A = this chain, B = another copy of it.
Amino acid sequence: MINAKMRELGAKRSVIRETFEYGRTRKAEIGEDKVFDFSLGNPSVPAPPEVNAELVRLIECESSVALHGYTSAQGDATVRAAIARYINESYGECVNADCLYMTVGAAGALTATLTALVCEGEEVVIPSPYFPEYKVFVERCGATVVAVPCDRQTMELDIAAIEAAITERCAAVIINSPNNPTGKVYSEESISALCDVLKRKSAQLGKTVYLISDEPYRELVYGDVTVPYLTKYYNNTVVCYSFSKSLSIPGERIGYALVSPRMENFTAVYQAICGAGRALGFVCAPSLLQRLLPACLGKTADVTVYDRNRRLLLTALTEYGYECVSPDGAFYLFVKAPEDDAVHFCEVARGFELLLVPSDDFGCSGYVRISYCVSTEQVERSLPAFKALIELYKD
């Protein structure tokens, strides 16, 4: 019998994809440079040179059978050891290779972790706005998302509201910092307070409430912002990481789940994640991509382009009268729509060839997301359109 829910997921394009596809059509109609597409979070800068150099070296120097063969289901042991060392040196942690499970991107890490730790009928608390696929992943486990709005001025976590939302049905909280869509990096103070709540609630409820940290944007931060490493604040944390954005290789699907070495029932949690990966059909993460990693740890694509775009947009849009959330990281600018209906506002914006994504699917109404992982030239050329657009809403 065709699964109706799956059909719906396959039939209904996300609003992000829909906007992107509209952009492709529109560009064909009026010309590439006349359309300002800010819809997709697809890195626009090339991978650091180490990526291609190491790929070629591996292909030319390693034995084909070893290089392209199955790794263990957890991932190549040498690769996991190198990543563990890097995490320990970078964040003062003390993880080892056996805390790591290599995955097909952060999405694969999230679905394996949720399948392992969230049972049917349970709830997952997520600060909103949030990346729309979380809802898809949580609901496939037969669980429900409980969205908890962030502070609408600062987009910081609302700790009291999160505490109130954690009931005996709560299996986990998902945190995403730097955040998609707001660009917010939650402060150390917020993280500390959140983790205190998780400890208190777990004790009160007599069950472990897990913290799942989705971190594809960890390295994309601007200025002197630091991103707290969550296992250091709460033992029952699983970090879901992807190299998609840091190395500009989003199509290659390589990441990991890291189980804190101080996790309660560590072995059971780690085994359940491996078992879930197996049951979902992952077998192992792509072997060539796994083997690429030791040479690329700590390397990042050139994020100065994103920072330049960020400052350009933030300064100009604020000057024109937009209310923007100042982004600390990622490559998204979250802007208050000058009318209540963000979907309608995006339609009006299309009249100016500006392709923006309304916030409704992010579990939050009244905003738009601007993905600035585009050329600086596109940003510069788009500014008059942004100016003309907001003028419509004045007086």
Q: Are the CB atoms of A104 and B207 closer together than 8 Å?
A: no
Q: Are the CB atoms of B272 and A3 closer together than 8 Å?
A: yes
Chain B: which residue is nearest A283 at the CB level?
A: B107
| Min CB–CB distance A124 → chain B (angstroms) | 12
A165 interface hit (Cβ, 8 Å) = no
A49-68 CB contacts (< 8 Å) to partner B: 51-52, 55-56, 59-60, 63-65, 67-68
Q: Are the CB atoms of B63 and A46 closer together than 8 Å?
A: yes
Chain B: which residue is nearest A66 at the CB level?
A: B251
**A251 contact from B10, B42, B71, Cβ within 8 A:** B71
Q: In whole angstroms, what is the CA distance A45 to B248 when docked?
A: 32
| Min CB–CB distance A340 → chain B (angstroms) | 30
A65/B52 contact (C-beta < 8 A), A3-B119, A6-B272, A275-B11 known: no
A59/B69 contact (C-beta < 8 A), A252-B286, A252-B288, A281-B104 known: no
Q: In whole angstroms, what is the CA distance A119 to B1 when docked?
A: 6
**A10 contact from B7, B52, B105, B271, Cβ within 8 A:** B271
A171 interface hit (Cβ, 8 Å) = yes
Q: In whole angstroms, what is the CA distance A40 to B270 when docked?
A: 24
A289 interface hit (Cβ, 8 Å) = yes
A64/B42 contact (C-beta < 8 A), A9-B275, A272-B10 known: no
B-binding residues in A (CB < 8 A): 1-3, 5-11, 40, 42-47, 51-52, 55-56, 59-60, 63-65, 67-71, 104-105, 107-108, 110-112, 115-119, 122, 133, 136-137, 139-140, 171, 207, 248-253, 265, 268-276, 278-290
A2/B253 contact (C-beta < 8 A), A42-B70, A68-B248, A107-B283 known: no
Q: Are the CB atoms of A42 and B55 closer together than 8 Å?
A: no
Q: Are the CB atoms of A278 and B10 closer together than 8 Å?
A: yes
**Residues of B contacting A104 with CB < 8 Å?**
104, 253, 281-283, 286
Chain B: which residue is nearest A249 at the CB level?
A: B68
A47/B70 contact (C-beta < 8 A), A112-B281, A280-B280 known: no
**A248 contact from B65, B111, B116, B119, Cβ within 8 A:** B65
Of A69, A276, A280, the most chain B CB neighbours within 10 A belong to A280
Chain B: which residue is nearest A105 at the CB level?
A: B283
Q: Are the CB atoms of B47 and A251 closer together than 8 Å?
A: no
- 9 tightest CB-CB pairs across the interface, nearest first? A251-B287, A10-B275, A9-B275, A111-B281, A10-B271, A46-B64, A10-B274, A6-B275, A107-B281
Q: In whole angstroms, what is the CA distance A51 to B111 when docked?
A: 31
**Residues of B contacting A287 with CB < 8 Å?**
251-253
**Residues of B contacting A139 with CB < 8 Å?**
279
**Other A-B pairs beyond A1-B118, A7-B271, 14, CB < 8 Å:** A6-B272, A6-B279, A7-B272, A10-B116, A11-B275, A46-B63, A51-B64, A52-B59, A69-B250, A107-B283, A108-B281, A108-B282, A252-B286, A253-B286
